[in-house]
Structure 1
Amino acid sequence: MGAATARTAPGGLLSIGQVLARLQDDFSDLTPSKLRFLEEQGLVTPERTRSGYRKFAQVHIERLRLILTLQRDHYLPLKVIAEVLEEVDAGRDPVIPGASSRSASTILAPRRVLSSDELQRSTGASAKFLGEVIAAGLLPASEVFPQDAVAQVTALLRLAERGITPRHLRSVRVAAERESELIAQAVATRGVKTGSPHSTEDSLELAGYLETVRSGVLRHRLTGGS
């Protein structure tokens, strides 16, 4: 899956607009400028027509999905992402840093959205419970949900079995919103343009640090400081 040696996938090459159409359901902050930024960083190298237009094969789409997932879900900086890509290009299946049970191939597995009925069947959640999750702001009010909502709803069901219901977790949403505002302010003070690729990278990096601090505080409280 090398950036410079990608082969044209069956079905032809795609324009930037077609790439956005394929990926924006999962990565809503993806823009043409971010695609160009990733190209400038050497992480993906689309083919070029004789007139200079960028064209993307399916292998580029898979590479972009991996890059964007590593940024959004694993908070990895571009330098580390580049190292992961080098391993993939060498034919290996590297374990994602900080996620010992997940490898690059699992990220590249096909993703799709789920209807509310499919989400309920996948998790065993009732329509009432899913409604409570949405009402608490723990999932967006939508007719479709990303694949990773399965893990989230399953975790919420296990918590509910122990008496921690979605209603009790409204504070989680409030805390996330406050942290999002805090991160946005911190990024803004550095003079980084809101919505730019640099802004997204900085925001995800700060979110990763906050997650580490939060986990440490929680462990400390649960173990009595041991």
Structure 2
Amino acid sequence: MPDEAGGRPLTVGAVVRALRGEFPDVSISKVRFLETEGLVTPARTDSGYRQYAQADVERVRYVLRAQRDLFWPLRVIRDNLDALDRGLAPGEGGDLRARPPEPAADPAVPSVGELATTKALRLTAAELAEASGLEVSVVADLVSHGLLRPRADGLHGEADLRVARATGALAEYGIQPRHLRAFRTAADREVGLVEQVVGARRGSDATRHAAEVAHLCLTLHAALVRGGLAPPG
């Protein structure tokens, strides 16, 4: 018999034993009824024996809680299970209703605090090349294509360092600076939108407001790219 501990599959009898502490009346026939209704679909061995994974046990637990605590009919339970299968999540505590989860913060998007903070880093072209692993000639090429924008004094800030490192990594995939000019165009449009929203604000309030809008624009941009790369279906 499979072990009831760990990640090994369980028999229907083992599932009943695992649930009986919370549901004293649960039985093998009850679990098989839920299978007949399509609420749980355990895997089967070549010889036809059912094998319940831990996810199947939790699914049965969800059904039993919905029946006992909320008196949901099978139709409502089935709809919520379908929603859970599509990535929705139950609420907190005893709220079993499936609902869209709160998206996690995208680690690729700088926080509002990071965007509102200006760092004092200033690099020469040679220092930028050394820090990014690029040749000085490549740094000059990035400047000519508008991807790097040195200050009036000719020095480069932290943003240029990030751009240089990213373009250097992309070059290993055969993507050259001339292929990336569209990124500068898109970034300038987003910056223009932020400036339009911020308008005539001045001082720290304007900086914070611009950072908040920029954070949302970058979040939208990252979400659109992720969505475009997601497999169909």
Superposition TM-score tier, normalisation by shorter sequence:
0.3 to 0.5
Structure with greater contact order relative to length (CA < 8 Å, sep ≥ 6)? 1
| TM-score with structure 2 setting the length | 0.45
Point out the structure with max Rg over C-alpha.
2
| TM-score with structure 1 setting the length | 0.46
